[in-house]
């Protein structure tokens, strides 16, 4: 469909897109057009301004507490990262979800891309000249409340499925609760993955699902949350995140 | 939304752009009940709405820096993020289809079917900047208004509107198109 020279058609499609009646392939196609057509984005923003006040007619409903807890756990990761990765998260987010939240946001993303053409994510690899140290993954976690305070370290040989853990200053979990260790994926929007419950003692091991090179390589960071003693029932962090930090390749 | 509330949300978004987690918590407290209400209304499932609202707030945190107060009001921006995510969610393949039960008695959803308590237009009238929209909606033909409100509030597509309103697809599409045109004209004249 040639829509570019037809402002009335553009405006009609923008209205139906915002109202939500544009669906399926028509919606995807419209979202593709939105990415490179500033005029269309403006039409969408105008329709959003016209129709969004209708939301005032919807009764408020308080979301359960776990929603906020999950959001906190997820933003704890992005707060930890430097600003540049936010840019990549943005791209990953928009592409991953195929979601154009508003035309304006997409336009600004485009502007960002122009301003920062050379942002490159630095791989978290530490080169070690000596062969004495076995190739391994090393995680160093700090308290969420106090980023200076080292509270937990973990270590696994690259080809081992045993993760050695040490609570440096984590204290005891609340009664009937325990600490659960999570791998945090690099890509925003992907959920954390449980690596297991920490042992009760200050030092011990966690049996990984596979050798570290498979089970840890996708997680540039780890986090610890407080969960029921048998682990989170949802498969996602539900309790407060008490510690987080980088998981480095040490070879 | 009154100007003071608008300003407060703008300030909170600006603080979120600076990665102020306290401001983000206040933004959540101030807006999550409305946004969750919008998502539950469209998706008809609280578990899905929880996931959508969670994703949207993470997105708001990551993109607060791209919010521009000159382009849209904070609530408009956030509502659009939530509604778009809901509509994309409904587009997922293999989704169990949740059909809205057709109600023979409800000729017009405006004042009764849609909500418990006061109708949505009454609620709109209580918010100053939405009053113009409510007035313009009232001036539409009943079928046009019904189609637009079902689409906005319940996330019905053209074909769902057609089966819900028991009308041919083409007729419903025309109602939506003419309704939107008249709404735009009416809002522009106010």
Distance CA B114, CA A216 (A): 49
ipTM of the complex: 0.83
pLDDT tier, B169 (very low <50, low <70, confident <90, very high otherwise): very high
Name the minimum distance, in Å, from the CA of A71 to any CA of chain B. Answer: 6
| Two structure tokens written together for A98 | 């195929």
Angle at B103 between CA B101 and CA B104, to 5 degrees: 145
CATH number at residue A177: 2.60.40
Q: What is the pLDDT of residues B20-43, one digit of tens each?
A: 999 999 999 999 999 999 999 999
Partner residue opposite B91 with nearest CB, options A24, A49, A54: A24
Segment (H or E) for A184? strand A177-184
Work out the average pLDDT over A171-197: 86
Contact B72 A54 (CB under 8 A): no
Distance CA B187, CA B57 (A): 30
Residues of chain A contacting B76 with CB distance shorter than 8 Å: 48-49, 52-53
Region of residue B28 (left: phi > 0; alpha: psi -120 to 50; beta: else)? alpha
Distance CA A124, CA A118 (A): 18
Classified as helix, coil or strand, A46 is helix
Name the minimum distance, in Å, from the CA of A38 to any CA of chain B. Answer: 13
Taking CA atoms, what residue in A is nearest to B92?
Answer: A24
| Domain hosting residue A186, numbered range | 125-250
Residue A96 domain-assigned (yes or no): no
Contact B49 A63 (CB under 8 A): yes
Residue A60 domain-assigned (yes or no): no
Average pLDDT, chain A: 76
Percent of chain B at pLDDT > 90 equals: 56
Cβ B121 vs Cβ B111: under 8 Å: yes
Residue A196 domain-assigned (yes or no): yes
Q: What is the pLDDT of residues A53-92, one digit of tens each?
A: 888 888 899 999 999 999 988 887 555 444 333 333 333 3
Question: Domain-by-domain residue ranges, chain B?
Answer: 3-90, 120-189
Residue A80 domain-assigned (yes or no): no
User: For testing the chain B interface, which of A58, A104, A108, A241 should be mutated: the one with the most B CBs within 10 Å?
Assistant: A58
Classified as helix, coil or strand, A202 is coil
| A147 shares a domain with A235 | yes
| A130 shares a domain with A245 | yes
Helix-then-strand count for chain B, H and E: 9, 0
Distance CA A129, CA A52 (A): 59
Fold of B120-189: Arc Repressor Mutant, subunit A (1.10.10)
Contact B34 A55 (CB under 8 A): yes
Name the minimum distance, in Å, from the CA of B175 to any CA of chain A. Answer: 12
Classified as helix, coil or strand, A183 is strand
| A51 shares a domain with A143 | no
| A19 shares a domain with A129 | no
Task: Tell me which architecture the domain covering B3-90 has in CATH.
Answer: Orthogonal Bundle (1.10)
Count of domains forming chain A = 2
DSSP per position, A77-103: HHHHS-HHHHHHHHHHHHHHHT----H
Is the predicted pLDDT of residue B93 greater than 80, yes or no? Answer: no
Residue A90 domain-assigned (yes or no): no
Q: Which among A145, A148, A126 has a CA at the least distance from the CA of A251?
A: A126
Is the predicted pLDDT of residue B117 greater than 80, yes or no? Answer: no
Q: What is the pLDDT of residues A111-158, one digit of tens each?
A: 333 333 333 333 334 334 444 456 888 998 888 877 777 888 898 888
Q: Name residues whose C-beta falls within 8 Å of residue B25's C-beta, 6 or more positions apart in sequence.
A: A68
More confident residue, A236 or A88: A236
Distance CA A147, CA A45 (A): 40
Distance CA B190, CA A103 (A): 25
Work out the average pLDDT over B116-145: 74
Is the predicted pLDDT of residue A208 greater than 60, yes or no? Answer: yes
Taking CA atoms, what residue in B is nearest to A68?
Answer: B54
Q: Name residues whose C-beta falls within 8 Å of residue A114's C-beta, 6 or more positions apart in sequence.
A: none
Distance CA A209, CA A151 (A): 24
Q: Name residues whose C-beta falls within 8 Å of residue A138's C-beta, 6 or more positions apart in sequence.
A: A153, A154, A155, A247, A248, A250
| A166 shares a domain with A246 | yes
Q: Which among A249, A248, A194, A245 has a CA at the least distance from the CA of A80?
A: A245
pLDDT tier, A18 (very low <50, low <70, confident <90, very high otherwise): very high
Enter the pTM of the model: 0.58
| A218 shares a domain with A134 | yes
Angle, in degrees to the nearest 10, between helices A24-35 and A38-51: 120
| A129 shares a domain with A51 | no
- Provide the pLDDT for residue A211: 87
| A136 shares a domain with A32 | no
């Amino acid at each position: 469909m040639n829509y570019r020279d037809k402002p009335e058609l553009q405006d009609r499609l923008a209205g139906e897109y915002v109202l939500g009646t544009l669906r399926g392939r028509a919606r995807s196609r419209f979202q593709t057009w939105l990415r490179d057509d500033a005029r269309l984005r403006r039409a969408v923003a105008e329709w959003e301004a016209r129709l969004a006040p209708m939301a005032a007619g919807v009764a408020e409903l308080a979301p359960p507490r776990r929603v906020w807890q999950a959001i906190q756990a997820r933003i704890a990761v992005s707060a930890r990262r430097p600003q540049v990765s936010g840019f990549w998260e943005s791209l990953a987010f928009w592409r991953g979800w195929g979601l154009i939240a508003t035309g304006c946001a997409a336009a600004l993303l485009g502007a960002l891309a122009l301003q920062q053409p050379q942002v490159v994510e630095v791989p978290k690899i530490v080169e070690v000249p000596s062969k004495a140290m076995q190739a391994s993954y090393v995680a160093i976690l700090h308290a969420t409340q106090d980023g200076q305070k080292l509270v937990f370290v973990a270590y696994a040989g690259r080809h081992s499925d045993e993760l050695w853990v040490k609570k440096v200053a984590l204290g005891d979990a609340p009664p009937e609760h325990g600490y659960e260790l999570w791998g945090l994926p690099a890509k925003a929007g992907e959920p954390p993955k449980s690596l297991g419950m920490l042992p009760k003692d200050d030092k011990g091991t966690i049996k990984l699902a596979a050798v570290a090179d498979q089970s840890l390589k996708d997680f540039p960071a780890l986090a610890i949350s407080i969960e029921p003693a048998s682990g989170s029932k949802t498969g996602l962090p539900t309790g407060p995140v008490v510690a987080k930090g980088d998981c480095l390749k040490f070879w | 939304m009154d100007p003071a509330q608008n300003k407060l949300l703008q300030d909170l978004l600006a603080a979120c752009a600076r990665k102020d987690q306290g401001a983000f918590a206040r933004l959540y407290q101030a807006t999550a009940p409305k946004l969750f209400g919008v998502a539950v209304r469209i998706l008809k499932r609280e578990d899905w709405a929880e996931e959508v609202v969670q994703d949207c707030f993470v997105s708001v945190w990551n993109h607060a820096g791209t919010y521009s107060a000159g382009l849209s009001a904070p609530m408009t921006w956030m509502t659009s993020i939530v509604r778009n995510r809901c509509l994309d969610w409904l587009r997922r393949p293999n989704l169990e289809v949740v059909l809205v039960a057709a109600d023979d008695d409800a000729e017009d959803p405006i004042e009764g079917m849609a909500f418990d308590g006061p109708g949505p237009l009454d609620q709109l009238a209580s918010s100053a900047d939405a009053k113009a929209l409510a007035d313009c909606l009232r001036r539409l033909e009943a079928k046009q208004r019904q189609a637009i409100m079902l689409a906005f509030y319940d996330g019905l597509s053209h074909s769902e509107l057609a089966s819900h309103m028991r009308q041919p697809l083409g007729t419903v599409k025309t109602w939506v198109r003419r309704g939107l045109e008249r709404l735009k004209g009416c809002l522009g004249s106010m």
